[in-house]
Amino acid sequence: MNLYQELRRRGVSSLGEVGAHLRLSPEQYERCRNELTDLGLIVPTNPAQHGARSELRAGLRDGDVNGDGSGGGDSGDGGDGGGGPQQDGDTVAVIDPEIALLRLLHREREQLREHLDEADRAYGTLETLAGAFLRAGSLTRSDADVELLSDYRRIQQVLEDITDVIQHSLSSMHPTSLVREVAERVLSRDRRQIENGVRVRAMYSERVISTPEVAELLRRRVETGVEVRITPAVPMTMIIADAQFAMVPVDPAEPMAGAVLARGPALVRSYIALYEHCWHTASPYGDGSTPEQGGDGLSEQQRAALTMLASGMKDEKIARGLGVSLRTVSRMLSELMQEMGATSRFEAGVRAHRLGWVD
């Protein structure tokens, strides 16, 4: 800029005089002074100091020049006996850009070192407070811990914390569909995990995939790289991370009752065994082997359950025939009854015959 170029031409000079010479407005003057000072291109100085040093170098010493270059003997007026210029904050010396850059880099390096030291101290404090909680790989085979979570916000925060420390795998199963806001959060989490090399798997109940929003979510998850499978029945919501953490509902029949967080392989391995069994009996989504629904919108499992119901079988026998839990059968038949508008199991069987849903 013009102000800096003029200062370089003059050397040590009054910043105000140069600004007036260039006809800078007060606002322009303040802005230029602050910018040059921040960049280290100018520094306040005392011309008398420079004059004294020149005299020292020339070997010209007298009683009016002190050894520290302040001038003026010991009179305390700071002068040189002849009314020379005083340090008033307006006189500056110009610094070469290369020198200013090196000083700036040094200052930034020192600040960065201070920030790193602060971060190291904070990390050490947090690590001490956290102990074994949420540190992947810190739990031994004999370690086990269980925490009951009843607040929804706490559950979401724990899920976020767990996903932040995952290194190898994230497995989940979902008996119900996800609302749109949660779905977007899941997709964002998927992308982050897969970019970090984490294997992400998810299972859904086949009864929810007929919903367009769920179908779109599964399509997008598959495109992201998630392994998705569909199964006739999902026993409960479950999330497993790195064989170290597992989150399941307190009561599978009441998902909003809270969640249980299990930590440590000694506990999590049982959930892993259940998950792997369901995974290997499920069908990959999107490869043509997904369970199909007929023109009536029923899955093969639903049709089989209605057929057995219409033949007079009890719920316990239907559950054994389908290889699912009694609770799953009860839920499935209740949903079908509601869809058909039936008020009893017998009426549901009769209506299924009339609708042509069963032979």
Q: Helices 300-310 and 345-355: crossing angle, nearest 10°?
A: 120
Question: What is the pTM (predicted TM-score) of this model?
Answer: 0.45
- In this predicted structure, what is the pLDDT of residue 64? 43
Does residue 137 register a pLDDT over 70? no
The pLDDT-based confidence of 53 (bands split at 50, 70, 90) is very low
Higher-pLDDT residue of 226, 98:
226
151-185 residue pLDDT tens:
888 888 888 888 778 888 899 998 876 655 577 88
Q: How far apart are CA 329 and CA 285, in angstroms?
A: 23
Phi-psi bin for 341: left (phi > 0), alpha (psi -120 to 50), beta?
Answer: left
Using a 10 angstrom Cβ sphere, with 0-12 exposed, 13-18 middle and 19 or more buried, the burial of residue 203 is buried
Structure tokens at 263: 């930590």
Kindly give the interhelix angle for 212-224 and 180-195, rounded to the nearest 10 degrees: 10
> Distances from the Cα of 354 to the Cαs of 301, 310, 311, 349, in angstroms?
19, 11, 14, 9
Predicted pLDDT at 324: 75
Q: Is residue 43's pLDDT more than 60?
A: yes
